[in-house]
Homo-oligomer: A and B are copies of this chain.
C-alpha cells in the first residue's frame, strides 16, 4: 500500500473511532472539509505540514498517520 493509501486508511479509522463527521474533524484540524474528503479517498498528496495538522485532533504524530 502506498503512503497516500495508508494515510487515507488511518484517517478514516481514527475519525471513526472518535465518532467525528468529516466536517467536525476538519474543523478540529483547521483544514477544509473537502480537502479532508479528498485525502480520505487517497486523491491528494498533502505536504508533511498538512499531515502534522491532521494529526493534532487525534493526539498522534504525523509519523503515526503514515504508518
Contact = CB atoms under 8 A, between A and B. Distances in A.
Contacts of A64: 63
Nearest to A47: B45
Nearest to A66: B63
Contacts of A52: 2-3
A62 interface: yes
Contact of A47 (B2, B46, B61, B62): B46
Contacts of A67: 61, 63
A4 B63 contact: no
A39 to B, nearest CB: 10
B46 A48 contact: yes
A7 B66 contact: no
